[in-house]
C-alpha cells in the first residue's frame, strides 16, 4: 500500500508517521516546511512569545510585591531568535522522524491529474501514482471584505510573528482566538493595542463566562476592545493605517493585524477529478472520504474548527481506516480547545448557552473560582474559574475554564467530556492537594450543590 499525502502540517505529517508505523509506504508532498502553519507560523511561535511575555510579567510581579527590585529591558530581536529556535528544533524533530521511519518527503506543489495520480511541481516536475491519497493542505488567513484593506498590506499571523520591530500602536481586526492571543502578546511588549470585533462580544463562539473573563483581563492589561463594530474602509498614510468604522468613528495605528478567520487551501484541479467542495471546505463523509474513491481529506481543508490536534487525530483516523485497523465512524464531538491570552482558557463540549437551549433549566452547572483555591492563591492567581456542565442525567457534556494553567487542566476536563463520564463517575475520585486540578473535583461537586470550599 503506497499512501500519498499532500501537506506536511499537523494532519499530514502525523498521518505519515502513523502509516509508516503500520508498514505502509508513504510519500509526503510539502510546498514549504514540515510542521505546517501550526509549527512554523501559528500555535508554536505564538506560545513561545506568550511564555516570554509571562516571564517578563513574573519579574514585574516580583517588583510589585517588593520581593526584589530591578528593571528588565526586553530585546525584541532576541525574543524572536528564541521563538525561531523553538520552531526550528521542532521542524528538525519531524524531519528526523521522517528519516528514521523511511517516509519520503517531496518538496513541491501538488496538482491532481487523476484520483490516484498527481503532478508535483517543484525543482523538477514529476508524476507520481498512489493507491490512496490524503489531502491535508491546511488553511490561510481570510481577508474580510473591507474596502481598501487588501491594498494596505495588513499583517497576517506570519508577518506579525516575524516583525522586525514592534509597532507603537496596533489595531487587530477580529476578536476571536487569534485576535485575543495577539492582543495579549503585543500589549505585554508595550504596544498600544485595540481590538475591533464585529460581534457583540469577543470570542463569540466560546462560553459567555470565558469570553467575559478574557475581556476583563485584556482591558485590565490596557487593551482597548470595541465590539459590535464593522470596519468599512482602510487606508494608509505616512504615519500608518486608518480604519474607518460603520458608526463614523475611525482608528489610527502604525500597523494592523487581520485575525478574522481562516480559509482552506486546496490543491489544484480538484474539480477536474470530481472532488466536491462545500461552503466550509472539502466535503467528506463519516469516514473522512471525499466524494472521490481513494481520496481522503483531513484538517483545516475540510473546514472548522481549525485545530491542529483535531487535524492530527483525523490524519491518524484515516490511515487506520485505509490500512484496515478501524471501521468506525469519525467522532469529532467534544474536541478540546485552548486559548492563550491575558487569561488562559480551555473549553470542551457544549457551552452553557448551548446546554440550556438543549435541556432548559434542568441542566446542571458547577462552577468553582480560582480565589477559593489554595494553590491559586499561593501563585497569586485570583482571577479565573472552572465550570462543569452536566445533562439532567448527570452526564458531563461541557467543561470550561479561564485562569492560570487552564490549558493543562483542559487535558482532564476534555477527557471527562469525550469519555462520556458522569458526575457519579468523578465525585468520589481523589485529587492531589494543593493543586489547581482540585478545582475540577470541586466543580463537579458544585453541579450537585456539594462543593466543599464555596457556599
Please give the tally of structural domains in the chain.
Answer: 3
Domain-embedded: residue 164: yes
Q: How far apart are CA 116 and CA 192, in angstroms?
A: 52
* Exposed e or buried b per residue across 14-33, where buried means at least 16 C-beta atoms within 10 angstroms of its C-beta: bbbbbbbebebebbbbbbeb
Q: Look up residue 306 and give its DSSP letter.
A: -
Over residues 350-356, mean pLDDT: 97
Q: Tell me the pLDDT of the chain averaged across its residues.
A: 95
Q: Establish whether the linkage from the previous residue to 305 is cis, with ω within 30° of 0.
A: yes
Grid look-up 489610527 returns 252
Domain-embedded: residue 334: no
Domain-embedded: residue 452: no
What pLDDT score was predicted for residue 354?
A: 97
Same-domain status, 210 and 287: no
Same-domain status, 407 and 315: no
What pLDDT score was predicted for residue 122?
A: 86
Q: How confident is the model at residue 70 (pLDDT cuts 50, 70, 90)?
A: confident
Same-domain status, 272 and 254: no
Model confidence over 228-248: pLDDT tens digits? 999 999 999 988 999 999 999
Same-domain status, 117 and 9: yes
At which of 242, 260, 278 does a domain end? 260
Over residues 319-323, mean pLDDT: 97
Domain-embedded: residue 352: yes
Q: How far apart are CA 216 and CA 209, in angstroms?
A: 11
Whether the pLDDT of residue 123 is over 90: the answer is no
Q: How far apart are CA 367 and CA 383, in angstroms?
A: 13
- Domain, as residue range, for 392: 343-446
Whether the pLDDT of residue 66 is over 90: the answer is no
Q: Establish whether the linkage from the previous residue to 434 is cis, with ω within 30° of 0.
A: yes
Residue 337 · residue 311 · CB < 8 Å:
no
Same-domain status, 11 and 136: yes
Residue 411 · residue 346 · CB < 8 Å:
no
Q: 349 Cβ partners below 8 Å, 6+ apart?
A: 333, 334, 389, 396, 397, 398, 399, 417
At which of 260, 282, 306 does a domain end? 260
Domain-embedded: residue 338: no
Q: 260 Cβ partners below 8 Å, 6+ apart?
A: 142, 143, 144, 173, 174, 176, 179, 198
CATH of the domain at 403: 3.30.390.30
Domain-embedded: residue 48: yes
Same-domain status, 208 and 268: no
At which of 260, 281, 313 does a domain end? 260
Q: 428 Cβ partners below 8 Å, 6+ apart?
A: none
Same-domain status, 154 and 50: no
What pLDDT score was predicted for residue 64?
A: 81
Helix (H, G, I), strand (E, B) or coil at 50: helix
Same-domain status, 310 and 347: no
What pLDDT score was predicted for residue 95?
A: 97
Domain-embedded: residue 453: no
Where in the sequence numbering do the catalytic residues fall?
A: 433
Cβ neighbours, 10 Å, residue 172: 29
Domain-embedded: residue 455: no
Whether the pLDDT of residue 326 is over 90: the answer is no
Same-domain status, 120 and 21: yes
Over residues 372-387, mean pLDDT: 96
CATH of the domain at 156: 3.50.50.60
Q: 157 Cβ partners below 8 Å, 6+ apart?
A: 37, 41, 42, 46, 141, 178, 182, 257, 259
What sign does the dihedral 376-377-381-383 (CA atoms) show? positive
Burial of 157 (0-12, 13-18, 19+ CB in 10 A): buried
Whether the predicted model's global pTM rises above the 0.85 cut = yes
Same-domain status, 136 and 27: yes
Same-domain status, 187 and 129: no
Same-domain status, 165 and 245: yes
Q: What is the CA radius of gyration of the chain?
A: 23
Amino acid at each position: 500500500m503506497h499512501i500519498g499525502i499532500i501537506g506536511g502540517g499537523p494532519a499530514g505529517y502525523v498521518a505519515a508517521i502513523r502509516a509508516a508505523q503500520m508498514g505502509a509506504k508513504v510519500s509526503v508532498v510539502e510546498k514549504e516546511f514540515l510542521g505546517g502553519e501550526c509549527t512554523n507560523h501559528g500555535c508554536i511561535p505564538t506560545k513561545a512569545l506568550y511564555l516570554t511575555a509571562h516571564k517578563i510579567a513574573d519579574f514585574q510581579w516580583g517588583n510589585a510585591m517588593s520581593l526584589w527590585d530591578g528593571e528588565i529591558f526586553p530585546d525584541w530581536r532576541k525574543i524572536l531568535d528564541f521563538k525561531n529556535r523553538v520552531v526550528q528544533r521542532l521542524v528538525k524533530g519531524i524531519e528526523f522522524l521522517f528519516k528514521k521511519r523511511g517516509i519520503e518527503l517531496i518538496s513541491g506543489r501538488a496538482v491532481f491529474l487523476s484520483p490516484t495520480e498527481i503532478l508535483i511541481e517543484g525543482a523538477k516536475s514529476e508524476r507520481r501514482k498512489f493507491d490512496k491519497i490524503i489531502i491535508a493542505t491546511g488553511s490561510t488567513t481570510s481577508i474580510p471584505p473591507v474596502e481598501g484593506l487588501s491594498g494596505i498590506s495588513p499583517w497576517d499571523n506570519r508577518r506579525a510573528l516575524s516583525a522586525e520591530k514592534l509597532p507603537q500602536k496596533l489595531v487587530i481586526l477580529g476578536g476571536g482566538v487569534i485576535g485575543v492571543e495577539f492582543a495579549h502578546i503585543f500589549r505585554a511588549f508595550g504596544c498600544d493595542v485595540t481590538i475591533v470585533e464585529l460581534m457583540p462580544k469577543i470570542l463569540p463562539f466560546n462560553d459567555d463566562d470565558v469570553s467575559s473573563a478574557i475581556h476583563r483581563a485584556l482591558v485590565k492589561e490596557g487593551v482597548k476592545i470595541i465590539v459590535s463594530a464593522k470596519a468599512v474602509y482602510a487606508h494608509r498614510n505616512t504615519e500608518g493605517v486608518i480604519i474607518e468604522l460603520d458608526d463614523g468613528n475611525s482608528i489610527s495605528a502604525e500597523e494592523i493585524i487581520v485575525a478574522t478567520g481562516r480559509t482552506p487551501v486546496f490543491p489544484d484541479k480538484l474539480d477536474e477529478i470530481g472532488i466536491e467542495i462545500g461552503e466550509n471546505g472539502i466535503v467528506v463523509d463519516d469516514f473522512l472520504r471525499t466524494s472521490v474513491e481513494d481520496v481522503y481529506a483531513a484538517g483545516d481543508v475540510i473546514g472548522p474548527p481549525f485545530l491542529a490536534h483535531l487535524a492530527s487525530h483525523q490524519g491518524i483516523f484515516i490511515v487506520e481506516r485505509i490500512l484496515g485497523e478501524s471501521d468506525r465512524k469519525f467522532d469529532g464531538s467534544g474536541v478540546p480547545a485552548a486559548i492563550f491570552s491575558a487569561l488562559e482558557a480551555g473549553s470542551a463540549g457544549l457551552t452553557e448557552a448551548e446546554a440550556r437551549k438543549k435541556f432548559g433549566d434542568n441542566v446542571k452547572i458547577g462552577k468553582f473560582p480560582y480565589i477559593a483555591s489554595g494553590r491559586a492563591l499561593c501563585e497569586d492567581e485570583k482571577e479565573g474559574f472552572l465550570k462543569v456542565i452536566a445533562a439532567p442525567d448527570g452526564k458531563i457534556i461541557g467543561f470550561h475554564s479561564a485562569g492560570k494553567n487552564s490549558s493543562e487542566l483542559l487535558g482532564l476536563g476534555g477527557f471527562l467530556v469525550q469519555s462520556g463520564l458522569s458526575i457519579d463517575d468523578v465525585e468520589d475520585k481523589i485529587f492531589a492537594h494543593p493543586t489547581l486540578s482540585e478545582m475540577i473535583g470541586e466543580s463537579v461537586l458544585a453541579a450537585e450543590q456539594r462543593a466543599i470550599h464555596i457556599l
